[in-house]
Amino acid sequence: MMYEGLFNELEEAGFVQWVEQLRQQEADWLVHHGDYPRWNQALDNLPAIENVTGYFNQPAVTVEGYCGQQEQLHQSLKGLSPWRKGPYQIADVRIDTEWRSDFKWDRLQPHLKPLTNKRVLDIGCGNGYHCWRMLEDNPRLVVGVEPSVLFNLQFRAIQHYINKPEIHLLPFGIEAMPDDMNWFDTVFSMGVLYHRKSPIDHLYKLKSLLRPGGELCLETLVIEGRQGKLLVPEDRYARMRNVWFIPSAEELKHWLERCGFINVRIVDTSVTTVEEQRSTEWMQFESLVDCLDPRNHQLTVEGLPAPRRAIFLASRIS
């Protein structure tokens, strides 16, 4: 019954066949991952928190309340490691995630159209940190799409306490979304485009999910330079294998315009710092500093330009 509210709304909007397909798949979405039993046990071990209040307007998505079993709470949440997007504050437990995702939110949020009473989609949303932050604006519906089993279970750990019916995480990729859905008021795609072998197809798919007049928020890696400049890594980029195309900001603006978006604007460009992305107790594997040239942090270990990110806003007219 976890998705029943979402399924009902989708059916009312006319997506009956898709919902029927989702209902048939739902039981198998997570359970086939080899670590699912261990992660699910961590979820089952979450202790009660009394007098819960959720806060979404501060850097850490916060579950405020009293927990009389702090050590069990800490160990259960640690059992869902690594935590990459956050931070979160659950009772007295601070989850210091790899990414300070609040930095990105602070850069983009002032430029967005209000999300009040809107239907919002976040593609590749990780554990849903930004989806939770959107609730500050009282949207009608927030849907995150994320194929990672672990990230979905991290989301469920937060939802276990906050129990917000207007927010959902679906455990699959954008490919499973209907073509020409034309339904969401705002669509986010953050940290996804450079992982796509066909970035133009991704932009067209994002456009098809928006209603006419809707807004796209696109955040991705870029390089410095004028229109026409494009980096295609030979093998890895910052030790990542699945990075295909990194355009200049002006070139990506051109791509968006060629795909039919209007009012395309670059609202922020910033270099990713080791303060924004780093290893912590909650994510103990290599992080950004391990992917940079130790003698020159302006380069990756492969000798390519260090990560720089830009945020684009654009509208769909038709």
- Closest among 144, 141, 129 to 62, alpha carbons compared: 129
DSSP 61-117: EEEEEE-S-HHHHHHHHHTT----EE-EEETTEEE--SEEHHHHHHHHGGGSPP-TT
- pLDDT band at residue 120, thresholds of 50, 70 and 90? very high
Dist. CA 293–CA 275, nearest whole Å: 16
* CATH for the stretch 4-316: 3.40.50.150
**Rounded mean pLDDT of 209-236?**
97
Model confidence over 137-165: pLDDT tens digits? 999 999 999 999 999 999 999 999 999 99
Contact 217, 112 (CB under 8 A): yes
**Rounded mean pLDDT of 2-9?**
94
Domain assignments of the chain as residue spans, ordered by start: 4-316
- β-bridge mates for residue 268, sequence order: 311
Write the CB contacts of 132 (distance below 8 Å, at least 6 apart in sequence): 54, 56, 61, 158, 167
pLDDT at 42 over 80: yes
Model confidence over 243-283: pLDDT tens digits? 999 999 999 999 999 999 999 999 999 999 999 999 999 99
- pLDDT band at residue 1, thresholds of 50, 70 and 90? low
- pLDDT band at residue 2, thresholds of 50, 70 and 90? confident
DSSP-based three-state secondary structure for 208: helix
Task: Tell me the HSE value of 65 on the side-chain side, using a 13 A CA sphere.
Answer: 19
Phi, psi of 263 (to 5 degrees): 50, 45
Residue with tokens 């679906």: 170
Which pLDDT value is given to residue 228? 96
Amino acid at 43: L
